[in-house]
Chains A and B, each alone.
Chain A
Amino acid sequence: MPTRPALSGHGLSKRYGTQYALSGVDIDITPGEAMAIVGPSGSGKSTLLHVLAGILPVDDGEVTLGGTRIDSLGETKRSELRRTEFGFVFQSGMLVGELSAEENAALPMLLAGAGRKEAMAEARRWLEHLGLTGKERNRPGELSGGQAQRVAIARALAHRPSVIFADEPTGALDTRTGGETMTALLDAAAGSGAAVVVVTHDRDLAASVPRTVSLRDGRIDADTRAGAVVPA
């Protein structure tokens, strides 16, 4: 029996002016699945991620999470959804400079109303899981690029989302650190049961992800799953 998708997009179109960034994209992500979206610059990778995450509204098509349409929700509801169901990892971590690693990791939970003790404990647990024991009180400026990204991963996972969106999470890292960070992200997500959607322009990095969706001119060019190519 086929697994019900965690997140689906059907007939997704997005225009910037008269230019189509996405044009009729269909995509399903199953629970716990890890997927890389690749493609050349301007192919619509980040737009697809933002549309799926409810950051950008679509012009056409629909996005569903666990069978519920989310593209038609208002901004408040979509914000709540992003806060509770999704986690985000961005290119350079985008950590709050004034806060320590553990405070950064706990921030989404705190902003969502969690208590201080509970949020900090969860944040410390994830930092430890990601190999950052001893760095909890360091500020972002006192961490290496890879360590900062792992704090961002902890921040994305700490509230136990069902999908993690990562937009070029290794873009600012060297190859080795990038690989380690990607492994940490995938392992951590697998451990929590969250699906992962990674946007990257690095084909080698994408190869470490079980499924790769290739975009070109706003359309899916190829969808590769564990070595088999699924026709778009």
Chain B
Amino acid sequence: MNSFQLALRVLRTDGRTRVSAILIAVGVAVATALVLLLVSLPGATETRADRSAWQQYGEPSEDGASLELVASEDVAPDGREIQRVDVAALADPSRIDLPPGIDSLPGPGEALLSPELADAVDHTPGSQLGERFGANAGVLGDDALAYPEQLVALVGHAPEDMPSTAMPQDGFSPAGRGADPMLGLLAGVGVVVLTVPSMALVASSARLIAARRERRLAAFRLAGATPRQVIGMVTAETAIAAAGGALLGWAVSPLLRQAATTVPWDGGTWQASDFVLGAVPTVAIVVVVPLLVVLAAALGLRRVLSAPLGAAGGHTPKPLRWWRLVPLPVSGVLFAYLATTASSQVEATLLLVSMAMVIGSLTLAGPWITAAIGGLFVRRWRRPSALLAGRRLRDDPRGAYRATAGVVLAVFTGSMALTVLPSIEGQAGALREYTDGVLYVNADHGSLQRIAADTNDALARYGQDERAVTIGDAFLGDENALARVVDCDAAEQLLVVDMRGACEGAPGVYTPYPDVSRDELTVSAEFGQPGTSLPAAVPVRPMTTTGELAPEAIVDPAVLPADFTPNTGTVAVTSTPANVDVVRTALVSAAGGLPVQSRQARLDGQVSQLDDLQRVTVIGLLAASVLGGCSAAIAAAGSVLDRRRTFGALMAAGTPVRVLARALRAEAALPALVATVGAGVAGTLVGIGLFTMVDDGAKVLTPWLAAPVVLGIGVALIASSVCTPALRRVQAEPLADE
């Protein structure tokens, strides 16, 4: 009988080995399915990017351009981003290659809308949305959209109506920007953060039969089996379970992919076909994951191979050495130091290294802390549950900690992310040039007046009181200080400046820098170009800035030389929350494809990205916690079954199941709690350190920070939930059975 046949026979005849094999298979299946999904993420973002490549600028083509294009972002009344592409055919439209999902190029005054945008237009007054695009000439297919619910408008124009900033191209851009590096990074982190708990699940499952298998293998060794033969048996036993699990994982991976399509990223959900993974990486993952499990099982046999009789239990174990604690404060201090001082690329790299050291030192310190807590319980116990839990933790702190090691990594990473992300979110939109509620379009001088006039016509048509104002760009003095050419009252209303009552006097130049020399005051339309001197009589008055991107000076147009014309500028309109969509429609329809911007839109964009990261973090944490909880639960069940005869005897002697279960629940839950809370605290501290390096601003501590602790409690509850059923199972067995 060879090793494989022996393994099959054991699986057929031993129920507990069968349960363990099934759990190993489940662990491997989960790991395989997760890795298959995570590895497909970069490709999925690339597929998305390729599908929506036409929505971006392509390569400029001065000669032989077939179309002109402006790509911009707009905002729908509900705050969602609209991807807008304004296009004008320069050649026969029938000769222009159209991207998949676009049947024909819209003519001037026409637009093709994505289904979701068409629906929004149908259900919104035209002045708030529909009139931004022109006549609806058709619908964009799914193949033209990054994600199914994307809001996209392909708006047609005559070439002469296109802004000068339009890009002449030879057709639409055929290729996207490649994979999203952020999601690629997250996928890499996810592979580690989710695979570790999956492997912990496998290890816990193997532990279910550890004692029994050790005895069986020891019997084989005593009967003369060589180490190679013993390894063969275990390898075969594990390989059957692991291979089955890998195939199961591969089989269920489409379901996981289907679930992943519902998780929004970068604005929307996914198409099922996005998560396609090639045959070679798929086969590689399905082969490598179980191979690692088999390798781990073979390495775990060292004890049986070196001591065929097995290690005797019930000895006072040697305490863990204190040096395990040393790396944690050392790496913590190093991290804190680098976080507050790092300024160069090398130091930033060292910071990441020190962060890895913090994680590594947690792995070293975790068992010591677990043992210390066990020791505390042993010294202070009042109830047998505390004594049993304390002894178990003190005797096998590595084992107790190992079951939750996967959760530790996930909770550490999650806490760090949940600390950093809201703090960054708190900074979002902080850089501003215009006051809240102002919508603006940057344009060249030739378009400024036309855009302002068309906007004002539309605003009047819509019955709005607001009017567009043009603001020119200029550069003052030898230092080329950025100045905005606008009258004093409009400046105070539109820009983040405080004119400090200076608008009462005659028109002049306003600046926060009191040492500006009036004698050398020149103004230029181009940065670095020689300027025209302003008359000496022009008053220079003080103002203060109230935003980070405020101009360095305001120049009233009345004081400029008659022949001075700014080359570029801005059309700006104020709005209120009640009419912002109508004002936006007026400005967008006049801007001819130039992007209409606002502080709120920028803020929404930043917040949306951070929401994506936060959502992915919480999903990852949840998945890792469920996996960690399952592995801790299986470990708890294993520890009950390991001591089944003792517990059976105690129950036979009248110890109620609930009393023993209470003790075992404490034993199972404590390490999980200690590990998750500890990792959560460490992750938060590291997160604060990381954020300090980026910004000295206030750290935003949100309720989300409690998520790892809540999940830790969840893990502990899952872990302890199996104690009573496991004891009932032991109770139901004949007392002498083993």
Contact = CB atoms under 8 A, between A and B. Distances in A.
Interface of A: 46, 50, 53, 55, 76, 78-84, 86-88, 90-92, 94-99, 103, 107-108, 110-111, 116, 138-142, 156, 167
Contact of A141 (B314, B381, B645, B656): B314
B650 A111 contact: yes
Contacts, number: 91
B735 A55 contact: yes
Contact of B653 (A88, A91, A138, A142): A88
Contact of A82 (B312, B395, B646, B654): B654
A141 B653 CA distance: 22
Interface string B533-559: 000000000000000000000000000
30 contacts: A53-B652, A55-B652, A55-B735, A76-B656, A79-B651, A81-B654, A82-B652, A82-B654, A83-B653, A83-B656, A84-B654, A88-B649, A88-B652, A90-B649, A94-B646, A94-B649, A96-B388, A97-B646, A98-B391, A98-B392, A108-B653, A108-B655, A111-B655, A116-B382, A139-B315, A139-B316, A141-B312, A142-B315, A142-B316, A156-B653
Interface in B359-398: 381-384, 387-388, 391-392, 395
Given A86-B653, A88-B649, A142 B736 contact: no
Interface in B649-693: 649-656, 659-660
B645 to A, nearest CB: 5
Contacts of B278: none
B15 interface: no
B303 interface: no
B671 to A, nearest CB: 14
A142 B314 CA distance: 7
B387 to A, nearest CB: 7
A43 to B, nearest CB: 15
A82 B653 contact: yes
B500 interface: no
Interface string B308-320: 0000111110000
Closest 10 CB pairs of A and B: A141-B314, A83-B654, A82-B654, A97-B314, A94-B649, A98-B391, A140-B314, A110-B384, A141-B315, A88-B653
A50 B312 contact: no
B653 A87 contact: yes
A198 B580 CA distance: 92
A86 B650 CA distance: 12
B313 A141 contact: yes
Interface residues of B, number: 30
A167 B395 CA distance: 30
A97 B313 contact: yes
Contacts of B387: 99, 103, 110
A179 to B, nearest CB: 23
Given A55-B735, A79-B656, A82-B652, A111 B646 contact: no
Contacts of A90: 649, 735
B450 interface: no
Interface in B285-312: 312
A140 B395 CA distance: 13
Interface in B94-149: none
Nearest to A139: B314
B736 A91 contact: yes
Interface core residue of B314, B387, B388, B645 (most chain A CB under 10 Å): B314
Interface in B216-242: none
Contacts of B729: none
A79 B382 contact: no
Nearest to A141: B314
Contacts of B643: 96-97
Contacts of B659: 111
Interface core residue of A53, A92, A94, A141 (most chain B CB under 10 Å): A94
Interface in B622-658: 643, 645-646, 648-656
Contacts of B388: 96, 98-99
A130 B559 CA distance: 111
A97 B391 CA distance: 10
B391 A110 contact: no
Interface core residue of B646, B654, B659, B660 (most chain A CB under 10 Å): B654
Contacts of A92: 645
Contact of A110 (B316, B383, B656, B736): B383
A140 B650 CA distance: 16
Contacts of A108: 650, 653-655
A25 to B, nearest CB: 19
Contacts of B648: 94
A148 B17 CA distance: 30
Nearest to A103: B387
A191 B71 CA distance: 98
A55 B649 CA distance: 10
Nearest to B387: A103
Contacts of A99: 387-388, 391
A95 B646 CA distance: 6
Contacts of B654: 78-84, 86, 108
Interface core residue of B395, B643, B653 (most chain A CB under 10 Å): B653
Contacts of A78: 654
B392 A46 contact: no
A65 to B, nearest CB: 13
